[in-house]
Amino acid sequence: MTIGAAGCAKSDRGGDDGGKAGGGTFIFAAAGDPKNFDPIFNDDGESFRPIRQMYDTLITHKPGTADLTGGLAESWSNDPTGKIWTFKLRQGVKFHDGTALDATAVCANFDRWYNMKGEAAQSQMIYYTDVFGGFAGSPDAVYDNCKAQDASTAVVAMKKYKGAFPGAFALTAFSIASPAAMKQYGSDTVTQSGDSFSYSAFANEHPTGTGAFTFGGWNKATGEITLNKNPDYWGDKAKVDKMIIKIIKDENTRKQELRAGTVQAIDFPAPADRKALASEGYKVLERPAFNILYLGINQKNNPKLKDLRVRQAIAYALNRAQLVQTKGPGGSAVADEFLPNTVLGYAPDVQKYEYNVDKAKQLLADAGATGLTLNFYYPTEVSRPYMPNPQEIFTVLANDLQAVGIKVNGVPRPWNGGFKDDVQQFGKQDLHILGWTGDYNDPGNFVGTFFGRGKIEFGDQAMTEMFTAIGKADATVDQAAKKAAFEQVNRDLASKWLPAVPIWHAPPALVTTKNVEGLVPSPLTAEEFNTVSLTK
């Protein structure tokens, strides 16, 4: 902010009124602030939304699905060892700064990530650490090198096979940025001041990718991110001239702005408002579910929970069908597995736990666990896409458990004020509710994240049979064999291990005004807005 002398302050409004002619301006109300616009330093949906419009990934998802299709790479292939990935790049694609997207530029991105210096920068690369194991010099690093075979062929070599690929290449964090712009605006300088970080001019003011929109500015005082149509986009050019992402954190206010006609689309409407909005003529677009809510069971504090029969009793005690009906957002469905059925390795024939009070009581009696008392932790001050109303979910589940004779001691904790610490770090709970939204189409991203290694959340660090089976399935190169291996994992999770009880898949929604056409809801909340148009 600059303080100009009174009287001689100049208006710096753009002379063009691009918004008024042609395709118009599309205003989308989002629920939170982005962090910055350098893809690799981000890991949340609100940052990824604008990033996705400005950048492209090598591989992307078919609109409305989690299925892979060519992005910047027209095609890709994998050698039999699963370690060498060859990308055939689209020709004639240019970054917003006019430089060419070629194999050298792609490799420059891979090399940049791998060679990132400084703990400050590295600590912000959550997805990179997760998928690529580590950085140059780390024994866990997965990446080896990238070579430009010719201008349109990039060959990426990994040190070891990793099940996350190719799905992970479609992660927005791994978008391809212009090497020239990154150099010019010092993209890698993440500096630390006191106990926090600041990012480069590239990340804040000059994000440069190949996407359908170019960066128009981020007005933090009004909470508006402006994106302009990229007239030279390689794919379907944007139908609107301008898109504004307006940040409105309160869901009630988002709804009111929609009704007042000041925005054309809102993200994450309150589940309770969906019906009313639909009946008023707004378009409620449900995203295909790509998330999971589960009841976690910590086997450590109460020895009875180590007994499979007790955990099964808990599963039988829960009337999940009714929970979905009364508390689930529209389109929710009972979950029998920890991954949605669109993901590889979903088994159609796992053991199901239909609501059965007698069976639950019987199992508890058999296990000598009548009169069980359990500490049930649930979060407050939070609403996640898979869990819009934790407190209400807790109440219903707790009542179900009480009905079979389990005494429930409810422990509410603020999401950012103790819940995650108590549950994930200290393991104070016996039961808890938590969930996950998938990042990419791979069973490892669901099942592996929860049960692939010892987690304090589930208490028993020595469930070696489960860890080994998941590790093995994840390391299987052949896709058919991998599918079979994960199907078996999911069967065993339901019948043998039951470390948690899957509750539901709950699709988050978008709402638009009647005149918005062409917005395709994505299971990954990865909507692309170049297809959006405004009718009269």
Partner 1 sequence: MVRVVSRRLIQLFVTLIALMTLVFFWLRSLPGGPVDALLGERATPQTRELLTRALGYDQPIWVQYGRFLKNVVTGDFGNSIRTGEPVTDVISRSFPATIELAVAAIIIAVGLGIPLGYLAARYRGRLLDNATIIVTLIGISIPIFFLGYLLKDWLTQGIHFFPPSGRISTGMDNTDVTGFFVLDGLLTREFDASADALWHLVLPAVTLATIPLAIIVRITRASVLDVLDEDYIRTADAKGLRNATIRKRHVLRNALLPVVTTIGLQTGALLAGAVLTEKVYNWGGLGTLITDSISGGRDYPVLQALILLAAVVFIVVNLLVDLSYAIIDPRVRVQ
- Per-residue contact string for residues 32-61; x = within reach of partner 1 by CB under 8 A: -x-xx------xx-----------------
Which positions from 296 through 315 interact with partner 1, judged by CB under 8 A?
none
Exactly one of 221, 281, 349, 358 binds partner 1 (CB under 8 A); which one?
Answer: 221
Taking CB under 8 A as the rule, does residue 471 contact partner 1?
no
Exactly one of 117, 147, 183, 220 binds partner 1 (CB under 8 A); which one?
Answer: 220
Taking CB under 8 A as the rule, does residue 224 contact partner 1?
yes
Query: What whole-number distance in Å separates Cα of residue 273 and Cα of residue 265?
Result: 14
| Nearest-approach distance from CB 4 to partner 1, in angstroms | 5
Asked if 111 and 128 touch (Cβ cutoff 8 Å), the reply is: no
Taking CB under 8 A as the rule, does residue 197 contact partner 1?
yes
Instruction: Of 39, 341, 79, give the one whose Cα is nearest residue 203.
Output: 39
- How many CA atoms within 13 Å lie on the side-chain side of 356? 13
At residue 362, φ and ψ (nearest 5 deg) are -60, -50
Query: What whole-number distance in Å separates Cα of residue 468 and Cα of residue 451?
Result: 10
Instruction: Of 327, 324, 328, 391, give the one whose Cα is nearest residue 355.
Output: 324
Exactly one of 79, 119, 465, 517 binds partner 1 (CB under 8 A); which one?
Answer: 119
Helix (H, G, I), strand (E, B) or coil at 115: coil
| Nearest-approach distance from CB 152 to partner 1, in angstroms | 34
Peptide bond connecting 166 to the previous residue in cis, omega within 30 degrees of 0: yes
Taking CB under 8 A as the rule, does residue 138 contact partner 1?
no
Element (H or E) spanning 147, and its range? strand 143-150
Taking CB under 8 A as the rule, does residue 434 contact partner 1?
yes
Q: Is the CB of 225 or the CB of 285 nearer to partner 1? A: 225
Number of residues this chain uses to bind partner 1 (CB under 8 A): 72
Which positions from 226 through 255 interact with partner 1, judged by CB under 8 A?
242, 244, 246, 248-250, 252-253
Taking CB under 8 A as the rule, does residue 82 contact partner 1?
no
Taking CB under 8 A as the rule, does residue 262 contact partner 1?
yes
Asked if 246 and 28 touch (Cβ cutoff 8 Å), the reply is: yes
Which positions from 364 through 403 interact with partner 1, judged by CB under 8 A?
381
| Rounded (10°) CA dihedral 16, 19, 21, 22 | 130
Taking CB under 8 A as the rule, does residue 413 contact partner 1?
yes
Exactly one of 97, 236, 354, 421 binds partner 1 (CB under 8 A); which one?
Answer: 421
Q: Is the CB of 9 or the CB of 365 nearer to partner 1? A: 9
Taking CB under 8 A as the rule, does residue 438 contact partner 1?
no
Taking CB under 8 A as the rule, does residue 3 contact partner 1?
yes
| Nearest-approach distance from CB 309 to partner 1, in angstroms | 30
- The CB-based long-range contact list for 230-237 (8 Å cut-off, 24+ gap) reads 230/96, 232/94, 233/530, 234/90, 234/92, 234/93, 234/94, 234/210, 235/530, 236/212, 236/530, 236/531, 237/212, 237/530
Exactly one of 15, 231, 261, 348 binds partner 1 (CB under 8 A); which one?
Answer: 261
At residue 491, φ and ψ (nearest 5 deg) are -65, -45
Q: Is the CB of 43 or the CB of 487 nearer to partner 1? A: 43
Taking CB under 8 A as the rule, does residue 515 contact partner 1?
no
Taking CB under 8 A as the rule, does residue 130 contact partner 1?
yes
Residue type, position 26, single letter:
F
Exactly one of 104, 129, 184, 362 binds partner 1 (CB under 8 A); which one?
Answer: 129
